[in-house]
Structure 1
Amino acid sequence: MRKGHNNKDYMTPTQVAERLLVSPVTVRQWAQKGLLEAETTPGGHRRFARAEVERFARERGIVNESAVTKILVVDDSEPFTAFLVKLLQKLPYPVEISIARDGFDAGRKVVSIVPDVVLMDIKMPGMDGYAVCEQLKADSRTKHIRVIAMTGYYTP
């Protein structure tokens, strides 16, 4: 560890494991493989920069349980959207729900709120869910966002 850094800026393998919901052995293996950058103390112990752990978690879609989960619901059906919002508000952890009525509005909101999850109707007028998903996954700023596709139409 570099001198002058606060110990609060660094985490032990056990703390990282708790944050990422894995075992300390898994954290050490990730460090050995170079997937998760670690520094070594003079005593030979690994320490992980908190910012590095958060980057790793973000890239892999590992949500911080104590944080608010941002959900974007994209659907042109107001009754279904209202039902879905009521259902999501009953989740056992804090959520922040935003609504978009079409693909274009979804694209704008994704950039401004950067949701953790997008629940998207794939059959909408104008820009459909397929096109929005392709754009999200093609952009390095949004490709990490999880997208759950849904539809009220029968699709074999």
Structure 2
Amino acid sequence: MGQKITTFLWFDHQAEQAAEFYVSVFRDGRLLDVQRYSEAGPGEPGSVMLVSFELFGQTFRALNGGPVFRFNEAVSLEVDCADQAEVDRYWELLTADGGEPGPCGWLKDRYGLSWQIVPRRLQELLTDPDPSRAARATAAMLTMGRLDIAALDAAADATS
């Protein structure tokens, strides 16, 4: 048996394009399966209904369900980044061609799906045993869009 819980993403009609985009952004990504609507509908027979794809071993399903539902920030996908180069790469790719930068490391991609692009270093700073360092790192994070590791470190190290 595969994974027990799978993230299911609802698109108007761009499920296949979105899946192809995501597997291009995340280098280990791969398309798994494309299912098409039959004569039973509700979509146009032969058109893409459901696309299964994998990112970092996690299976996702993308449905062409029509314009009934839209993504919002209540659900996001967090990307754990080892360094600033990884933060920058994912930020640039996911905000390209209609994506929108947001606050505190959040963004929306061209399909409206929310992502958090988070350097590992941020979690270390936010859980620093010195509460004043953690507070300064948090305050700095709250002023940023794309997270900047050097600036977060500098803020944590600053003295009043």
TM-score of the aligned structures, taking structure 2 as reference length: 0.24
Relative to total residues, which structure has the larger strand share, 1 or 2?
2
Structure (1 or 2) with the larger CA radius of gyration: 1
Relative to total residues, which structure has the larger helix share, 1 or 2?
1
TM-score of the aligned structures, taking structure 1 as reference length: 0.25
